A and B are shown apart, each in its own frame.
Chain A
Amino acid sequence: MYETIYHRPSSIDEAAALFAKNEDGKYLAGGHTLIPVMKSRLAAPSNVIDIGRIPALIGIEAAGGTLMIKAATTYYDIMSSTQVKQSIPAIARLTSMLGDPQVRARGTIGGSIANNDPAADFPAAVLALGATIRTNKRDIAADDFFKGIFTTALQDGELITAVLFPLAAKAGYSKFRHPASRFALTGVFVAQSKGGDVRAVATGASQSGVMRVGEIEKALKANWSAAALDSVKISPDGLLEDIHGTAEYRANLVKVMAQRAVESAE
């Protein structure tokens, strides 16, 4: 790791001020995205601003048809939260399949979204549920947030403070793990909103990051069942291809994981 200066602000405003004051800063919460790339010297922020212990960034609230998970809440706290399990169990399920126990003890929902890693799990839930990303400056709709692989609508220094999920009628997540990294080789989050809208979002599969899958959404809107997807064909165009899976294989996984997500949906 290159030399860096570590800061631990105690409030959101202090964090933002530190970011503005110092050159080439990066926010750090659990550190499980940033530190590995710093270790491999692929990222070299001069300043890291640790937001992981700011009280206003930690916690889960469910009220008024919305589940709010604050940005620096760890995966472990999310998956074991009664509020999460009661309001959107698919989020608890997704979180329990994310990383490994030690990673879940440190990693945070904010970190999972801010980087828009093409194999991260949470972007699929955020987009499928039509969540709102709250920052220290504004609210951003999920549809406007993910801008392609490793790119988001976040401006320089803008800090995610919470993610607000509208409660769904039904939601499910299923993923096929990458044999080596154990990230999602392909994961699919399906959700039926209380208004009857259906979304199916795949992660890990597409060259452009998290993506909605129109064919699946259409079929599920007509008939919310795994069997409804039997005849759906997913095109391999634009899907990732590597030693662990061809684009054709990933296209198959998009469908199969969608079916299993529907089966698991509650």
Chain B
Amino acid sequence: MTIVTRKVSLTVNGKAVSADVEDRTLLVHLLRDNLGLTGTHVGCDTSQCGACTVHIDGRAVKSCTVLVGQADGSNVTTIEGLAGHNELHPMQAAFRDNHGLQCGYCTPGMIMAAVDMVRRHGGKLDEATVRQELEGNICRCTGYHNIVKSVLDAAGRMEMASAAE
């Protein structure tokens, strides 16, 4: 059996990586299957649930809707690379402190989307905006109540941190 593959090279969580994969490979499968970064999840087939959200070149995107070729040469951040070793990003900490997760499956995507949300909106976030901006992420456990709370809490923390800089 032959599988036609090509080499793709990208930066993932600050490290240069490359892999030989089929052109039909999606970024999420490269991350999970080839790089062992299983924190990025697949929850739907239709680019809607957002469990696969990662950052490509600083923007939150759905890695289930990106071919590896499109990501070739890009800088990708996954949930595993959001904070340094044994550190938590303020968004991660806020999700824990506010019980913003239950089963944990949608959580990495939620956190990656939320970090991007705060990047785009800064401290101007309010509940209505957060709810609108979570359009691309589905959670079945939390009823969103504590996710919204977590994002608002983290936005405050991130604002204070950047003001302190």
Contact A101 B135, beta carbon cutoff 8 Å? yes
Instruction: Say whether B93 faces chain A, with CB atoms less than 8 Å apart.
Output: no
B53 interface contact, C-beta 8 A: yes
Residue interface bits A68-100, CB-to-B below 8 A is 1, else 0: 000000001000000000000000000000011
Interface size class of A (residues with CB under 8 A): 20 to 34
Of B53, B64, B67, B72, most A-chain CB atoms within 10 Å: B67
Assess whether A100 is in contact with B50, with CB atoms less than 8 Å apart: yes
Stretch at the interface among A34-42, A120-128, A160-168: A34-42
Answer yes or no: B47 CB below 8 A from chain A CBs: yes
In the complex, chain B residues 5-60 whose Cβ is within 8 Å of any chain A Cβ: 6, 22-24, 26, 45-48, 50, 53, 59-60
Interface centre among B22, B23, B53, B68 (most CB of A within 10 A): B23
Question: Are B24 and A106 touching (Cβ within 8 A)?
Answer: no
Chain A residues in 8 Å Cβ range of B65: 31-32, 35-36, 106
Closest chain A residue to B53, Cβ basis: A102
Q: Are A36 and B24 in contact (CB under 8 A)?
A: no
Q: Is B123 engaged at the interface, CB distance under 8 Å to the other chain?
A: no
Contact B113 A102 (CB under 8 A): yes
Hey, which chain B residues are within 8 Å of A39, CB to CB?
A: 26, 45, 64
Known interface pairs A76-B59, A99-B136. Does A52 touch B47 (Cβ–Cβ under 8 Å)? no
0/1 string, B135-152, CB within 8 A of A gives 1: 111000000000000000
Asked whether B116 is an interface residue with its Cβ less than 8 Å from the other chain, the reply is yes
Asked if B61 lies at the interface with its beta carbon under 8 angstroms from chain A, I say yes
Given A31-B65, A106-B61; A100-B24 close (CB under 8 Å): no
B100 contacts the other chain (Cβ, under 8 Å)?
A: no
Which of A32, A40, A52 has the most CB atoms of chain B within a 10 A radius of its CB? A32
- Among A15-32, those with CB < 8 Å from B are 28, 31-32
Q: Assuming A8-B72, A101-B136, A182-B135, is B61 touching A3 (CB within 8 A)?
A: no
Give CA–CA (A106, B57) in the complex, Å. 12
Instruction: State whether B113 touches A4 (Cβ < 8 A).
Output: no
Residues on B with beta carbons closer than 8 Å to the beta carbon of A182: 48, 135
Contact A8 B69 (CB under 8 A): yes
Contact A103 B136 (CB under 8 A): yes
Q: Judge if A105 is at the interface, Cβ distance under 8 Å.
A: yes
A33 vs B55: C-alpha distance when bound (angstroms): 20
A6: interface (CB < 8 Å):
yes
Interface-central residue, A40, A105, A182, by most chain B CB under 10 Å: A105
User: Is A222 in contact with chain B by the CB < 8 A criterion?
Assistant: no
A166 to B116, CA, bound (A): 33
- CB–CB A101/B113 < 8 A: yes
Q: Which residues of A lie under 8 Å from residue B72 when comparing CB positions?
A: 8
Q: Which residue of B lies closest to A177 (CB)?
A: B135
B73 to chain A, nearest CB (A): 9
CA distance A103 to B69 in the complex (A): 18
* Any B CB within 8 A of the CB of A48: yes
Instruction: Say if the beta carbon of B1 comes within 8 Å of chain A.
Output: no
CB-CB under 8 A from A3, the residues of chain B are 4, 22-24
A55 to B67, CA, bound (A): 20
Q: Given that A3-B4, A3-B24, A5-B23 are known contacts, is A101 also in contact with B133, CB under 8 Å in the complex?
A: yes
Instruction: For A5, list chain B residues within 8 Å (CB).
Output: 4, 23
CB of B56, distance to nearest CB on chain A (Å): 8
26 A-B Cβ contacts within 8 A? A3-B4, A3-B22, A3-B24, A4-B23, A6-B6, A6-B23, A6-B68, A6-B70, A8-B70, A31-B70, A32-B65, A35-B67, A36-B45, A36-B47, A39-B26, A48-B67, A48-B69, A76-B59, A99-B136, A100-B136, A101-B116, A102-B113, A105-B59, A106-B61, A181-B48, A182-B135
